[in-house]
Amino acid sequence: MKPRTKRERLVVELSSKLPAITEAQIRWGKKHCFPHNAYRCKDEMWCSECGKMWVDVTGQKEGYIKCPYCGERLEVKVSRKTKDNAVSYLTVVTTSGDFQVLRHFYTARYARKERDTHYFIDEVCQQWITSDNKEIVIAKAMNMGCRGWIHTTDMSLKQSGNIYYPHSYDIDGYVYPKVNVLPILRRNGLRTSFHGVTPAVLIRGLLGENKYAEMLIKTRQYSMLEFYMYRGGLSHPWAVNICNRNGYIIKDGSMYDDYLRLLDYFHLDTHNAHYVCPKDLKKAHDELLKRKQKIEARERMERERIERMKKEKELKRNIAVFWKKIQPFLGLQIKDEGIVICPLESVTQYYQEWKTMHHCVYNCAYYARKESLVLSARKNGKRLETIEVNLNTFKIVQSRGVCNEDSKYHKQIIRIMENNMAEIIRRAAS
């Protein structure tokens, strides 16, 4: 994208004058942007820093060890892997003119057993932020996907985001410790550390995008700062002010927010330093959580008791309806071709039919349907199919065997039922 405004033309000019990455920055990036491992397979170990292999008979499978070749301190990993490729980002924070500049370097390490380790470092993105919180991005082209940089392209002006992700160039890289910031950012509390927050996100927050960022960083509530910047809001800002007045430093922002919500649950005063400044945050959090869990367990038991009572009441009502409906059909037997068809005469029989036939005659409460008469077809005592007859139309609605499949006697059962439907009609009319 070509520069169109005076500010964009100035940024392009200043960008061309930025120095290349220094050897000191490269050395720092190699040391801090990647894990340093020694991979063990049986008695052989190799170093992810230099690729050299050696024999180690100590049998050490965890902890740290020093590479006998490059002298690097390595963490021991038991693995058969013979290569260790890793990608990370190195962020250099500097200033140019009236701009706060974030320079993001794509860094890749290619390590293989018994081969020299190679590094690839390429500047892929620059974020130029003004004191009035306006941003201009200069970056390389990307493939479709998550930062699939095209390293052969030149840096050019880009849109800072899109409607779905307004800050798509915010890169959470390892920040080089020599940081230069604008005077307004220094005044607002930023020094050299970003306290676990993506640099661009914290800078925009300190320039006025977030209400409490400056207060949190100046009062050294760094855990709450990280939580606040990623959550996007404080549920109890007054509680943090009380902590600051009492010199209380919050160690775990996420747990502290949960703790405050538990105080609300128990209607405890979140304006009282006794509650909002606990001596042991984890202990206080866990105690309230256990109390809440006990209350919820009691409430759950009460809901289940009420639900059981409702089901029992409904079952009694259904049994009464069923008993009135089944009276004319008690003792009915239809026999033909060795098959005996009898109505299910109790809810217990519905349950037994369901257990044997593996269909929904009991679970769907067919016994509670006023218009349905359910019969069981058997031969030599073995259940064959379950038959439903509609008492309004006196038609066979369905006849199901085991697992709702038709038995080999299906057609016979249907024929027998149709031939004897008059008896069912006679009994229903009586």
pLDDT tens, N- to C-terminus, the chain (430 residues): 788 899 999 999 999 999 999 999 999 999 999 999 999 999 999 999 999 999 988 888 899 999 999 999 999 999 999 999 999 999 999 999 999 999 999 999 999 999 999 999 999 999 999 999 999 999 998 886 556 889 999 999 988 766 556 678 899 999 999 999 999 999 999 999 999 999 999 999 999 888 899 999 999 999 999 999 988 788 999 999 999 999 999 999 999 999 999 999 999 999 999 999 999 999 999 999 999 999 999 999 999 999 999 999 988 988 888 898 899 899 899 998 889 999 999 989 999 999 999 999 988 989 888 899 999 999 998 999 999 999 999 999 999 999 999 999 999 999 999 999 999 999 888 7
Angle, CA 363 vertex, CA 361 and CA 365 arms, to 5°? 70
List Cβ neighbours of 113 (8 Å cut-off, separation of 6 or more).
39, 46, 51, 53, 82, 83
The pair phi, psi for residue 148, each rounded to 5°, is -85, 80
Unique residue bearing structure tokens 């005063």: 269
Residue 63: other Cβ atoms inside 10 A: 8
pTM, 2 dp: 0.75
User: Domains along the chain?
Assistant: 6-187 (no CATH), 210-278 (no CATH), 328-429 (3.40.630)
Angle, CA 6 vertex, CA 4 and CA 12 arms, to 5°? 75
The pair phi, psi for residue 289, each rounded to 5°, is -65, -40
Q: Partners of 86 in the beta sheet? A: 109
Cβ atoms of 228 and 209 closer than 8 Å: no
Strand residues in 2-50 grouped as ranges (E): 37-41, 44-47
- Give the SS3 label for residue 104: strand
Q: For residue 205, which of 168, 10, 195, 136 has the smallest C-alpha distance?
A: 195
